[in-house]
Structure 1
Amino acid sequence: MGVSIRRPLLPLLLFLFPLLYSVSVLHQRWNPEETKRLSPKKPDQVILGPAAGQGLPNRLQCQGTKAMNRIEPSPKNNHSEEEKVSFVTVFAIYKSDPMSEKMLDRVRVGDILYNSKSERSLAILNAYINFIQVSMPSSDVVVLTDNDSTFSLDRNNAIKFPIEGDYSRSNLMLQRIKSYIAYLKRILESSELEKANKNIIFSDSDIAVVDNLGDIFQKHPDFHIALTFRNNKNQPLNSGFIAVRGTRDGISKSKDFLEEVLDVYMSKYMGASRMLGDQLALYWVIKLHLPSAIQKFNRHESFAGKVKGVSVLFLPCAIYNWTPPEGAGQFHGMPLDVKIVHFKGSRKRLMLEAWNFYKSTFNVSNMLCLILCSGRTKYDF
């Protein structure tokens, strides 16, 4: 006996019709542009959260933006007694589509409104110089850039140093190593080398130096080149900070070391992401010539080793290349002896906020609490 299936369809259609009608009306009324306009705008300010590392020994303790256990670095009464250091960074401003610039939200930090990426990039470079001037007033800054760069540096302690090359975004990490090597060669050829005897720190320009780094050269008198390491299986070496002793031997051997890194980069890692090639090449050279170093990357202590006659010092990233977490509440917090804060990616905005806060308080410790407690802010910087 056949079973009729027509009778149950009527109640089903009566049930579905109102639902289908509502969806149709909603689709007609929905306007994606209007929805985008009504969506909440990202706050144009620093969002504070809980301080990471609360209660942990040797970590900065904060109540809001007030440091509870940080001791201010003692100022040097005689700047001539400081280690002479030249901070060297690679910097380029990229041309952008005027139409895309108009679509970007303007960013205000303190009393300053930044309307374009180029303005913000130059502001970050100036903040980099400002932090160095506060923490190490006897030091100078050398900005390696392309021959056609048009930005100006009206600073007493900073100069542009043009070096020919390809400074495009996709080639920047490769060019950075080439520029470092070219700069070291120029110094070796200079008749002023022996007289100057100035140590060198190659660094990214999105860092804040918050303590005197001259003690690296005083506490570790035997190294030629210093690298920073972290407990990261694939990229344990960070190329954003490289220290070179300013003697002829130190500069010459550091140049030789970087030339080998460059050769490895060009032969093995040209297909790597534009931000990874140099770090992968650094690791390959160390793994090849000094495999005993690898097992020490999970510790938090400095150590040294030899790479083809070059004395290499390894410094813990947590102190010499500390990066703010993407959001407040990271468990480990900020070491009390941190010397560099590295504002990567979307955190570059925070670097300008930190300098603006320092200008109003002149308190490094409280500024570090502002950095530590700042919540995640995503800006196209």
Structure 2
Amino acid sequence: MVFLLRQGFLGMRVCFGWRKFIIFVTLVFFLTHFLSVLELHQNPKIKDPHQKKNKKFGHLVFVPAAGEGLPNRLQCKGMKALNKTHISASSNISNGGDGIAFVTVFTVYKSSVDARASETTVVGKVSYNKVERSMAILNTFISFIQLMMPESKTIILTDPASGLPLTRNRVTVYPIQGDYSRDKLMLQRIRSYIDFLGEKLVESRKPGQKISHYIFTDSDIAVVGDVGHIFSKYENFHMALTFRNNKQQPLNSGFIAVRGTPDGISRAKVFLEEVLKVYSTKYMKASRMLGDQLAIASVVKSHASFDEKTFSSHEPFLEDIGGTSVLFLPCEVYNWTPPEGAGQFHGMPLDVKVVHFKGSRKRLMLESWNFLNSSSSHDLSDMLCLVLSSGRTKYDF
């Protein structure tokens, strides 16, 4: 009996000893972790080992092209297209004096204001500082237009004070007063469009004035097909917008077409004035980006007859929005974005007309143009394979 009691006491002492040891180790662990976290907050230069690295690459990173085996999608083997996109040469719709003018807003920010202006980026064998890089994007934008639609014109709406260094054939620099600061640039873009349309409305009413249709775009797009056909194929619209199946941002402002008749210009101007009003009253917190797209969607959705379910369609459709006949064109054809993050992973339609190099994809825009011009054996479909097989990482633009 005494022996059993002694053994019991020894067992309890061992048990209590292990419990003390476990408690001690636990306290040491939590104390060490707490001090590490405290040091991290006090010294932000120390990197959290658990923090994900968001590395940017100075080169393209290739993966298998999306859309493999899907019908009516570009099929690629490496950088070689196995089928061809439905690309046609410019139809030159200038019969009877009609023509196409691409319009974009662009300004150059002075290096004294931008501390990062001296940073350099190498694309291919060319090194760019920030201003040179922006100009390279603009020139590539123009080059794609002139390749695919050589009879068209390009108009650059800009800050009169920017002194835009650009001299190219069939390109006009068009100064418009306004606030082109970075935080207000998207807001100013809508204002510049309205001012431009106001001046063109006056011109369009002059006797004998030739019609010129306008396509307002971002400067980071590549025209890879003749988009002028929309003005002859769809005869009853005043302006056109591009849509996608996205509940929060169903409309993208990177492509807006306006029929160059007095009625078309007038109706489009009224529509954009309503967008500006909504933008200024509801979405100023998103003035640096997205505010214009949210405002456009708000104006469209505000009409009781409009059914949002039509945004899930893949076909163009026509709607009357406050007296303006608006043609809605699918983004997958007229505003296709290379896959990155939430990009379109179902491949590239064979009838794609416009590729939009949003955000960090701008390096890909320059690389694509360089690839197209690097060999006589490369054609536009091969270049689109380059686009389709890359873009799924963060670049340095």
- What TM-score do the two structures reach when normalised by structure 1? 0.85
1:95 is displaced (CA, Å) by: 3.2
Report the identity percentage. Answer: 56
Q: Does 1:252 align with 2:260?
A: no
75-84 or 356-365: which moved more? 75-84
Q: 2:251 aligns to what?
A: 237
Q: What do residues 261-312 of structure 1 show as CA deviations (whole Å, max 9, x unaligned)?
A: 1111112222235212111111111111254241200010000011222111
Decide whether aligned partners of structure 1 residues 108 and 314 sit closer, same or farther in structure 2, where only a CA change above 3 A counts: same
Distance change (3 Å), C-alpha of 1:42 and 1:109: same
Please state whether the residue corresponding to 2:355 is helix, strand or coil: strand
- Runs of at least 4 residues off by over 6 Å: 1-12
Gaps of 5+ in 2: 1-8, 30-38, 40-44
Distance 1:190 1:44, change over 3 A: same
- In structure 1, distance between residues paired with 2:361 and 2:184: 23
1:374 aligns with 2:382: no
Which entry has the higher C-alpha Rg, 1 or 2? 2
Correspondence for 2:299:
285
SS of match in other structure, 1:301: coil
- The answer for the alignment partner of 1:56 in structure 2 is 70
Distance 1:379 1:180 in 2: 31
Partner of 1:309: 323
Compute the displacement of 1:42 (Å).
Answer: 5.6
Match of 1:86 among 83, 94, 101: 101
Separation in 2 of the partners of 1:370 and 1:265?
37
Out of 131, 139, 146, which is 1:118 matched to? 131
Separation (CA, whole Å) in 2 of partners of 1:130 and 1:305: 34
1:347 is aligned to 2:347: no
Query: In structure 2, do the counterparts of structure 1 residues 100 and 4 end up closer, same or farther at CA, with 3 Å as the change threshold?
Result: farther
Match of 1:336 among 331, 350, 357: 350
Whether contact under 8 Å (2:316, 2:327) holds in the other structure is yes
**Contact 1:48–1:328 (8 Å) recurs in 2:** no
Gaps of 5+ in 1: 20-26
Match of 1:269 in 2: 283
- Identify the residue that residue 22 of structure 1 maps to in structure 2: none
- Are 1:323 and 2:337 matched, yes or no? yes
| SS of match in other structure, 1:190 | helix
1:290–1:90: structure 2 CA closer, same or farther, 3 Å change rule? farther
Q: Which moved more, 1:58-67 or 1:271-280?
A: 271-280
Distance in 2, Cα, partners of 1:329 & 1:199: 30
Write the deviation string for residues 218-277 of structure 1: whole angstroms up to 9, x where unpaired.
Answer: 110110000111101011111111000011111111111111111111122222352121
Partners of 1:290 and 1:305 within 8 A in 2 = no
Q: Which amino acid aligns with 1:378?
A: K
Partners of 1:290 and 1:307 within 8 A in 2: no
1: distance between equivalents of 2:159 and 2:317? 36
Aligned equivalent of 1:109, options 120, 123, 132: 123
| 1:364 aligned residue | 380
Shift of the 329–139 alpha-carbon distance from structure 1 to 2, 3 Å rule, reads closer
**Residue 76 (structure 1) shift:** 4.9
Residues 1:170 and 2:183 aligned together: yes
Partner of residue 23, structure 1? none
TM-score (norm 2): 0.82
**Distance in 2 between the 1:9 and 1:73 partners?**
76
Amino acid at match of 1:174: L
SS across alignment from 1:70: coil
Answer yes or no: is the 8 Å Cα contact 1:88–1:142 preserved in 2.
Answer: yes
Could you tell me which of 174, 181, 189 is aligned with 2:202?
189
Task: Call closer, same or farther: CA 1:8–1:61 in 2, change over 3 Å.
Answer: closer
Q: Distance in 2 between matches of 1:267 and 1:11?
A: 64
